[in-house]
Amino acid sequence: MTTAELIARTENHLFGFLRGLHDGGLRVPADKQSQFFAGIETLAPSTTGQLYWIGAATLVTSEPERHVYDEVFRRFFGLTAADALVVTDEPADESADEDEPTSMPGSGEAEDVVADAAGADGLAASNVSPEGVRRFAATTPRSHELIRELCRELPRAVPTTRSRRRRPGGRRQRVDLRAIYLESRRTHGEIMRLHWRHRPQRQRRVLLLVDVSGSMKQHSADYLRFAYAVVATCPRAEVFTFGTRLTRVTPSLRTSDVDGALAALAQVVLDADGGTLIGTSLATFLDDYANLARGALVLVLSDGLERGDCTAMVAATRRLSLLAAQLSWWSPLACDPAYRPLTRGMSAVLADLDALTGVDGLETALTAVRGKFATTQRSAHV
């Protein structure tokens, strides 16, 4: 059998496996099927156990679905869930010392596949989404105190701009002819005093784009608590999360309790702790919600570790820079004094940022807010 025939046979068997899942009651959406094949391409499984865990991480989201998946996988590949933990298709290393203790064959492989596919170690990014529900730990008393501090500081820190609409007021900017006319009707045409209208100052919109991918696992919870404080104190705030997809979460954050807000977020942010597609997510935001960035204070909370081609990330960041009044990038990596933005993505977007600030939790977020978001002035472009 030629290599081309073997590849075609393998593809047919995998598509047959997906049809078997559908016939068994597990209807896998097209995006999850794409993630399944992306996981195979990225991880290049060499054992059936590895293939099992790639499918479990990308195709299954609940326990009932897991039962269907296990049955169909056993039918197509002859391997059960229990076997996937202890069975490997690779021959044992005969040169190993018989007296040397070894781990169960295949167990390390399975764990590596799950960790890489879901970004569970919080240190590396992938393009595979776990499609699960993340449980956030309860907010500590110290975090509650920091959130209250942030709520006090944010109204003073958010930059202002003149309202487009004029309001009645004593500032002599424009004569209010309508008010003068209505008053003159009560005085038989006599103008007794002049009325004025002016454009008052109001807060700029605050737009948060929060990275919830696996490489941000240690920081995303505090980033979302900061987002809760922003929504609670800034009437024109908008918050989006992104990992492998873009999710608008502003309505979920409009609650009176931070832990309640995080619980609501867990139900809508289904790509948490998974892969990362920064450029694709930012491009989606600009396609659907670009008006929210116009004249706004935009904060991107991410480590900037984009996978693969960074062209989309660079183009989207440049467009955000042109739309926003201020564009700041908060990265936990920048908390290290020795950090330098040398990755392809961050080095390319640095020129479009007002500031690259080290923020890894609520403590450093409060410091950045007290420093007026650590922004630097650039020439006006909005």
Nearest to 329 by CA among 157, 209, 158: 209
Residue 104, pLDDT above cutoff 60: no
When the pLDDT of each residue in the chain is averaged and rounded to a whole number, the result is: 80
Q: Mean pLDDT lowest for which of 27-41, 280-294, 316-330, 332-346?
A: 27-41
Sheet of strand 167-168, all strands in order from the earlier edge strand to the far edge = 167-168, 196-198, 174-175
**What is residue 335's predicted lDDT score, i.e. its pLDDT?**
92
Q: Mean pLDDT lowest for which of 167-176, 311-320, 343-352?
A: 167-176
**What is residue 270's predicted lDDT score, i.e. its pLDDT?**
85
pLDDT higher at 188 or 253? 253
Residue 364, pLDDT above cutoff 70: yes
What does 120-164 look like in DSSP terms, one character per residue?
Answer: TTSS---S------PPPPPPPHHHHHHHHHHHHHHHHHS-EEE-S
Q: Mean pLDDT lowest for which of 120-124, 129-133, 282-286?
A: 120-124
Highest mean pLDDT among 10-14, 114-118, 178-182, 245-249 belongs to 245-249
Please give the average per-residue pLDDT across 207-230, as a whole number: 94
Name the pLDDT band for 148 (thresholds 50, 70, 90).
very high
Residue 16, pLDDT above cutoff 50: yes
Contact 328, 159 (CB under 8 A): no
**What is residue 259's predicted lDDT score, i.e. its pLDDT?**
93
**What DSSP state is assigned to residue 103?**
P
**What digits encode the pLDDT tens for the residues 217-228?**
999 999 999 999
Fold of the domain spanning 141-158+204-374: Rossmann fold (3.40.50)
**What is residue 325's predicted lDDT score, i.e. its pLDDT?**
92
Contact 126, 217 (CB under 8 A): no
pLDDT higher at 260 or 87? 260
**What is residue 254's predicted lDDT score, i.e. its pLDDT?**
92
Residue 180 tokens, joined: 């003068």
Antiparallel, parallel or unpaired: β 167-168 and 238-242: unpaired
**What is residue 58's predicted lDDT score, i.e. its pLDDT?**
87
Contact 116, 57 (CB under 8 A): no
Residue 97, pLDDT above cutoff 90: no
Residue 22, pLDDT above cutoff 50: yes
Residue 131, pLDDT above cutoff 80: no
**What is residue 199's predicted lDDT score, i.e. its pLDDT?**
61
Residue 327, pLDDT above cutoff 90: yes
**What is residue 249's predicted lDDT score, i.e. its pLDDT?**
95
**What is residue 82's predicted lDDT score, i.e. its pLDDT?**
62
Count CB atoms within 10 A of the CB of residue 100.
6
Please give the average per-residue pLDDT across 92-108, as a whole number: 40
DSSP 3-state assignment of 255? Answer: coil
Residue 41 Cα distances to 35, 51, 117, 126, angstroms: 10, 11, 12, 12
Please give the average per-residue pLDDT across 120-130, as a whole number: 46
User: How long is the chain?
Assistant: 382
Q: How far apart are CA 210 and CA 250, in angstroms?
A: 12
Please give the average per-residue pLDDT across 239-250, as a whole number: 94
Contact 272, 91 (CB under 8 A): no
Q: How far is CA 260 from the centre of its chain?
A: 19
Residue range(s) occupied by CATH 3.40.50.410 in the chain: 141-158+204-374
Nearest to 270 by CA among 213, 220, 230, 219: 213
What does 315-351 look like in DSSP terms, one character per residue?
Answer: HHHHHHHHH-SEEEEEESGGGSTT----SHHHHHHGG
CA torsion, ordered 199, 203, 209, 210, to nearest 10 deg: -170
Residue 94, pLDDT above cutoff 70: no
Please give the average per-residue pLDDT across 207-215, as a whole number: 93
Name the pLDDT band for 85 (thresholds 50, 70, 90).
low
Residue 178 Cα distances to 150, 189, 193, 194, angstroms: 42, 13, 13, 11
Residue 123 tokens, joined: 């240190």
Name the pLDDT band for 248 (thresholds 50, 70, 90).
very high
**What digits encode the pLDDT tens for the residues 152-177?**
999 999 988 766 666 666 666 677 67
Residue 207, pLDDT above cutoff 90: yes
As a whole number of Å, the end-to-end CA separation of the chain is: 63
pTM of the model as a whole: 0.61
